Amino acid sequence: MYKVLIADDEIKVCQLIESLVDWEKMDLQLVSMVHNGLEAVKAVEESAPDIVIADIRMPELDGLSLLRRIKEAKRDINFLIVSGYRNFEYVRDALQNEAEDYLLKPIRRAELNEALKKIIEKRNRKQEISRNVSSLRQGGFVRELLEHQTEEDYPVSYEKVNEEFHCTFSGGTVTAFAVKMDIWTSQNLTENLSVLGKRAMQIIRREMEKNGFWPYMAVKKDLILCIVEGADIQSENFKNGLRHIIRNIHAVSDQTMKVRAAIGAGGSGQFRDLYRLSFQAQKLVWDRLWMERADIIFAGGDKRDGSVHEFFSYGMQRDFKNGAECLNQEQVLAVMERVAEKYKGKQLSGQGWKLYETYEKMFSMVGDMIRKIDPSAELADDYRTASIRLRMCGSLTEMHRFAKETVEHLFGEIRKNRELLNRKPVRDAKQYILQHFAEELTLEEVSRKAGLNPAYFSTVFKGETGQTFTEYLADIRIEKAKELLLQNEFSVSEVAWRVGYRDEKYFMRVFKKKVGLTAAKYRKLYG
């Protein structure tokens, strides 16, 4: 509801304006009616109107002077000037001083209400923009907290945050909690996550406001971070609010989309501890993995083993990477089972996120392998989707099973496409060998030219040619040597050099092994 002040030296004109306005329909309130400019100035101070309808000619202070004075005071007031004068100078001065409109007496109902309607629409747009800007800036602060992925404190004053982000913190106790959304859908996962995130934030805001709290929130993929001031996270009232949030998010599920949520209640503390509290809340949601889908996890809620465990040691990473690069599925799966054995039967407080990072690192290694040997968009999309879905697993059993199934699927698809995919690198390698066989060629050099790592290139090359790189290169060189020997233009030593052998004795040994004759006898018999 917007407040209106009417200022005109004629009482009957004031009463006429009052009778012409559709107050209820336009949700307006008449707060004051005055009859000179100085009274209007005083009324503005006392009643703080949003809209002033003023006559251009009034005792003490005219309408234009009133308009200028209030504008100079930088008050957010919209002016509507009424006058019995058609003088162009009046109209121009009114509009130059940012009056919304200039209405001539006698005032007509339709004209007056239309002018007021435009002012209302303008104020509504301005308020909406202000709310959006404020919300974005407030969300910017929480997004900054979301990006702070460390246990270390980063002290910050509430005054600075208020100034920079349009927040209204008072410096009291703050509470941080994170809402993790797990979603399984047959439709577009990313799109559904975006929709669910907005819906979940509406649910959180509604439940927090019921308890008298204004939440500051931001969403990143499947995680919402929420900051409230003045809340007691251990109070039964607050806990019930968190339970309602969980229930209402779960209720979003339908036939095509199954949704579950978990809340990490990071605890309360001083404002300067907010970065640490926020990170703690984000970590806690991952502890649902140890609890087989717990709904709400509180900091220090139990006495589980909190020691740091290295799930994916350097040796495991090396074995996994080698297995992935050589397309050795059995080796890769064996490493995954070794990881599972490390956490089997354990309840490791604050370590759930480390386990997720372990499986994410495995997926990253498989992804690197995919990008090297299978550039097909379809399989690359499979990998990206799998990485997102990994975050949606709510228990150890579910995460390990999904990771294994994903790896098996990716390896299976790669094996299906491998023959086609390998032909070009091998073809390129063979062409390069034919062009450079006389040089000191190495496996590393040729595999680099083929765009593959040496280990995988060796496997692919032998699979396609039936020979190792060394055997193939030797055959090419010996065939070229036979051609040169039959030309009788070069000595055996020169022939060896021209086909890439810098050691004549070694050349002679390889030639005899491949041909069954020495180079000299071959030339004598066939030259």
pLDDT at 93: 63
- Indicate the average pLDDT of the chain: 83
| Residue 395, helix vs strand vs coil | coil
199 or 371, which is more confident: 199
Q: Please give the average per-residue pLDDT across 328-338, as a whole number.
A: 92
Residue keyed to tokens 């994410």 = 360
* Coil, strand or helix at 220: strand
Separation of alpha carbons 456 and 462, rounded Å: 10
Considering only residues 87 and 282, tell me which one the structure prediction assigns the higher pLDDT. 282
Looking at residue 273, its pLDDT comes to 87
pLDDT of residue 136: 47
Phi, then psi, of 261 in degrees rounded to 5: -140, 150
Report the Cα 222 to chain-centroid distance in Å.
9
Question: Do 63 and 70 touch, CB atoms closer than 8 A?
Answer: no
- Residue 56 has phi, psi (to 5 degrees) of -75, -25
Could you give the CA distance from residue 101 to residue 117 in angstroms, rounded to a whole number?
Answer: 12
Q: What is the CA radius of gyration of the chain?
A: 39
**E strand or H helix at 384:** helix 377-390
35/510 Cα distance (integer angstroms): 116
- The stretch 330-340 carries a mean pLDDT of 92
Residue 475 confidence class, pLDDT cut points 50, 70, 90: very high
For the ranges 266-280, 347-361, 430-444, the lowest mean pLDDT is seen at 347-361
More confident: 293 or 2: 2
State residue 305's pLDDT score. Answer: 54
pLDDT of residue 124: 82
CA 339 to chain centroid: 28
Q: For residues 2 and 504, what is the distance between their CA atoms, to the nearest angstrom?
A: 101
Look at residue 145 in the predicted model and tell me its pLDDT. 85
pLDDT tier for residue 444 given thresholds of 50, 70 and 90: very high
For residue 277, give every residue at least 6 positions away whose Cβ sits within 8 Å of its Cβ, in sequence order, or none: 174, 175, 176, 266, 267, 268, 269
Distance, CA of 414 to CA of 358 (rounded, Å) = 23
> How far is C-alpha 450 from the geometric centre of its chain's CA atoms?
35
| CA 483 to each of CA 160, 370, 496, 498, 519: distance values in angstroms, whole numbers, following the listed order | 83, 42, 12, 11, 11
Q: What is the pLDDT at residue 211?
A: 82
Place of tokens 């997102």: 388
Per-residue pLDDT of 60-115, as tens digits, reads 887 778 788 877 777 788 888 887 766 655 566 666 666 778 788 788 889 889 98
CATH of domain 148-298: 3.30.70.270
Question: 2-124: which CATH architecture?
Answer: 3-Layer(aba) Sandwich (3.40)
Largest CA distance in the chain: 132
Query: Taking 80 as the threshold, does the pLDDT of residue 295 lie above it?
Result: yes
pLDDT on residue 303:
46
Q: Using the 8-state DSSP alphabet, how is residue 305 labeled?
A: B
Q: Is the pLDDT of residue 471 over 50?
A: yes
Residue type for position 237: N
| Residue 266 contacts residue 280 (beta carbons within 8 Å) | yes
Whole-number Cα distances in Å, 43 to 4, 8, 142, 410, 463: 11, 13, 41, 75, 92
Most confident of 66-70, 396-400, 469-473: 469-473
User: Alpha-carbon dihedral of residues 401, 407, 411, 417, nearest 10 degrees?
Assistant: 110
Give the model's pLDDT for residue 59: 82
Tens-place pLDDT, residues 130-145:
555 455 456 778 888 8
Using the 8-state DSSP alphabet, how is residue 195 labeled? Answer: H
Query: Is 160 within 8 Å of 272 (Cβ atoms)?
Result: no
pLDDT at 364: 85
Task: State the pLDDT confidence band at 384, using cuts at 50, 70 and 90.
Answer: confident
**What are the distances in angstroms from CA 127 to CA 27, 29, 49, 141?**
16, 18, 16, 21
pLDDT at 42 over 60: yes
The CATH architecture that domain 422-526 belongs to is Orthogonal Bundle (1.10)
Order of strands across the sheet with 78-83? 28-34, 2-7, 51-55, 78-83, 101-104
Listed ranges 11-20, 74-83, 411-420; the one with the highest mean pLDDT: 11-20
**Smallest Cα–Cα separation from 142: which of 4, 251, 282, 241?**
282
Whole-number pLDDT of residue 507:
92
Which range (19-33, 142-156, 163-177, 210-224) has the least confidence? 142-156
Query: In the predicted model, what is the mean pLDDT of residues 201-205?
Result: 91
Between 23 and 60, name the one with better pLDDT.
23
Amino acid at 487: Q
Residue 169 has pLDDT above 70, yes or no: yes
Nearest-5° Cα angle at 20, 14 to 25 = 125
Same fold, 2-124 and 148-298: no
Percentage with pLDDT > 70 across the chain:
89
Q: Kindly write down the DSSP assignment for every residue of 143-193, as one continuous string.
A: HHHHH--SSS-----HHHHHHHH-----S--EEEEEEEEEEEESS-HHHHH
Q: How many CA atoms lie within 13 A of 101 on its CB side?
A: 17
Which pLDDT band, with edges at 50, 70 and 90, does 224 fall under?
A: very high
pLDDT score, position 171: 86
- The Cα–Cα gap between 281 and 278 comes to 5
pLDDT attached to residue 135: 53
Question: Residue 477 has what pLDDT?
Answer: 92
The residue extents of the domains of the chain are 2-124, 148-298, 314-416, 422-526
Q: Angle at Cα 61 formed by Cα 60 and Cα 64, nearest 5°?
A: 160
- CA separation for the pair 91, 82 (Å, rounded): 10
